[in-house]
Every structure is written in structure tokens, then in C-alpha cells.
Amino acid sequence: MIQSFLQRLARWLDRPFFPWKKLVIGFSLAEFALENWLLFRQYRVLSKTSQPKALENEIDKPTFNKSQEYGRAKAKFGFFSSLFNQAKGLAVIWYDVYPKVWAVAGLLLTRYAPERFSGEITQSLVFVFLFSLIDTFAGMPFSYYHSFVLEQKFGFNKMTVKLWITDMLKSQALTIAFGVPIGSAFLSIIKKTGQGFFYYLWVFMLVVQVSAITIYPIFIVPLFNKLEPLKAGALKDGVEALASKLQFPLGELQVIDGSKRSSHSNAYFTGLPWKKKIVIYDTLLEKSSDKEVEAVLAHELGHWKMGHTTKLLLISQVHLFYTFSLFSVFINNNSLYESFGFHKQRPVFIGFLLFNEILSPTDSMIKLIMNILTRSMEYEADAFAVKLGYSAELGSSLIKLQIQNLSSMDADWLYSSFHYSHPILTERLKAMSWVSESKVVDKSADNEKPLQANDIEL
């Protein structure tokens, strides 16, 4: 029934001379305008000189001013980088760069690859590699500026140029190592399973995601960071007791050298349902008391106890099925291919790429809905930690992270709705009914370097 409906929809949408290219450009410009209007609203909040009343007793004026300055610097950087990406994306579409790069990929295979490697799947993989290379080189100046100018100015960056380049090369190597077999299987499934390919593709991607959850902490993380067991002591005893109390299947308790790249502070858990690993950033240990680290982990374990990770995985599967089934509507759309310069060929991967361009207007709405959901989950995890008796420690750890990260103290409500997966600090403290008994951060902390102002995953 679903397949029959999709086939009828596909025939209806395949209209000769339909202006797909102009439609995509219109979508892209509208999304760009929306994003930058939201950024402008947030910039006005970042220009305020008075701090939120709820934080007046916890955050001094110099720290607030520096936080505002850092927020404005990030907003300006975000505008110029998005402007560049917008211009690049429009140029790619308007000047038919896709068919040109596709032709180059085919030419490279014809000249340099053995005949057994010819074919659409191999050409698609070379096409992806070429585009990835172009994007990497085009984005390098912005990446360099972000790490070595913007972050450096505010004392966050700890990377050397050598480490920055090494990370980039490792990322490219991993993309090829995993992208080639996954991409080949992705395209083979579509080619071999006919009109109902989206059922098989959906199952395949579920297997890939579950495998990634297993492989990432074991093989990928050690390529970039060093992991060591948490040393014996009060903290280890406290965390193990907490995990035992909640019946959390704790297999390993490790510390990661996050300070190798930045002062970003966090903790997370990963692994299979029957054996999980808790990983604590060394920077979190340096900046927090044992009880505050326990409070952070109590929050994270709250996500596990209430099944938030599983729920998000199920939601992602529904979204994937919706995406793949809708792709079946466009996979053979002649007017779509021709609008973007593919008059004689209809490569499957190109079709998927163009389909995603058409689907992009829904991204903002999906992001908004997901943010509403994840913010609700953050409140629940906070309440879980408070119920365990960590109210004071959780509140103080949130405020410390806010100060150390120079995170924005306030946010425009509409901007935060579209961009923040977590509630802002004042909202979380209010929901916890948290009241400080004494100043959280004393003067001795003023000279410490702040942590990197990333989105706090706590």
C-alpha cells in the first residue's frame, strides 16, 4: 500500500521542465535568511550590558562582559562562515558543478583505474572523495581561524598546528576507510532491491548505527585521545556505588585527555546494553569536586535510566525510514536530474544528493521539534539527579561550567528554540528550584583559563 502510493506520487512529480533548480535555490536563500535573522536576534541579546538577575550573585561583571564579547565574536564568525558556505553552495548549483565533478570522476576511473573498478558505484565513491576534498580545502581557512584566532584570543585553544593537521588527515582516512564499504553497500542495496529498496536500506542503516555505537569507543576514540582507568579513590568509589544503586551495567570507568585539544569539560557513557563505559574528561576532574563530578554523572545516568538514548535512537529510525521512503519518489525523476545538468545519466547517489537539497526546508522544523524534545529530556535528567540528592552539587557544577566555558548567559527565545538542544542555565536552575547557599566560584578561580565554550553536553 505504501509502495503503491509512493509510485503514484513519483509519477505525478516527474514533470518535464519543472524548475527544480530554482526551487532549491529559493529554499536555500529562505533558510539562509531565517538563520541569519535568528542570529541577529541573538546578537542583540549578546550586546546587553546587564547580566540576568538570577546570576548576579554568582557571576561577576568582568566574567559576564567577557562572555558577551566571546558570544559576539562567535556570532560574527558564524555569519561570515555561513555567508561563504551559502555562496559556495549556490555556485555549485547554479553552475552545474555536480555533473562536472561527476564527469571528472569518470575520467579518472577511465584513465587510471583497472576496468573491473569501472561502474556507477565506484564513480560515485570517487565523486564523493573529490567533493569532500574540495570542501576540506575550502573550509580550512575558517577552521584555522576558529581554532588559532578566535579560540586562541579567549584562551580556549590547546591544539598545535601539527595536531590540527594530523586530526584532519586522520578524519579523512577514517572517512575513506568506513565510507567506501558503507557507501558501496548503500548503493548496491538500492540497485539490487528494486522499488522497495527503502525497507532494506533502513535495516542496513540500523545495523550500521548499532555497529558504530560498538566500534567508536573501542577503535576510533583511541586514535585521537588517550584513555586511562580512573584512579582508585573516593571519586571512583562514589561513582561505582552510584552505578550499583541504579543497576547501571558499568564495565569500565575511564578518564580521557580532553585537555589535549581544549579545556572543554564533559562526561559521557557509551557501550552495549549489557556492558557500558563511563568516560570522564580530565578537565572536569581538574575543575570540579568529587561530588560535583558525581552530580554530572548522576545527570547522565538519568538519561540512561529514563531511556532517553533509546527513545532518540527510535526517533532517528522513524526519520530515516521517512527519508528513504520519500527518496524512492525522486530516485527516477527525470526532470530533477535534467534540471541539474544530468541529461543522459541518472546516478543514484546524485539523485540522493539532489533529493536532500529539496528536503532541506524541513531540516529547520525537524531541528526545532528535536530541540523541544531534548530540552525536555535535560529537565528530566536534572530532576533525576536532584532526586538522588545532588541538587547543590549539580547547580554549582552547572554554574562553574557556565563561567569556565564563557557560555552565553542569556539567549533570545526564538534563537535558542532553533539552536539549543539544552535549556539555558537560568532555566535549568529555576526548574531545579536551586538556591545558592554561598558563592559558587571564589576569587581564586578568576585567574584560571576558561574552558572551551562548546554546547555543554551535561
237 is catalytic: no
- Is residue 393 a contact partner of residue 295, using CB atoms and an 8 Å limit? yes
> Given the DSSP bridges, would you call strands 227-229 and 275-281 parallel, antiparallel or unpaired?
unpaired
| H/E segment holding residue 325 | helix 308-330
Distances (CA, A) of 344 to 339, 347, 356: 12, 10, 21
259 within 8 A of 283, measured Cβ to Cβ: yes
Q: List the grid coordinates of 381.
A: 535528567
Rounded Cα distance, 121 and 177, in Å:
16
Give the phi and the psi of residue 23 in degrees, each rounded to 5.
Answer: -65, -45
Residue with cell 545538468: 341
Please name the residue that has the C-alpha cell 577503535: 219
Question: At which residue does the C-alpha cell 570522476 appear?
Answer: 105
284 contacts: CB under 8 Å, gap ≥ 6: 265, 266, 267, 293, 296
* 303 carries a ligand binding annotation: yes
* Residue 327: closest CA among 290, 352, 302: 352
* 319 marked among binding-site residues: no
Q: Is 299 annotated as a binding residue?
A: yes
Catalytic residue, chosen from 58, 294, 300, 393, is: 300
Dmax over CA atoms of the chain, in Å, equals 74
Catalytic site includes residue 382: yes
How many angstroms separate the CA atoms of 52 and 50, rounded?
7
Are the CB atoms for 371 and 420 separated by under 8 Å? yes
| Catalytic residue (one of 294, 382, 410, 412) | 382
Q: Please, is 116 exposed, middle or buried when counting C-beta atoms within 10 Å of its C-beta (0-12, 13-18, 19+)?
A: exposed
The residues annotated as belonging to the active site are 300, 382
Annotated binding-site ranges: 299, 303, 378
Annotated binding-site ranges for Zn(2+): 299, 303, 378
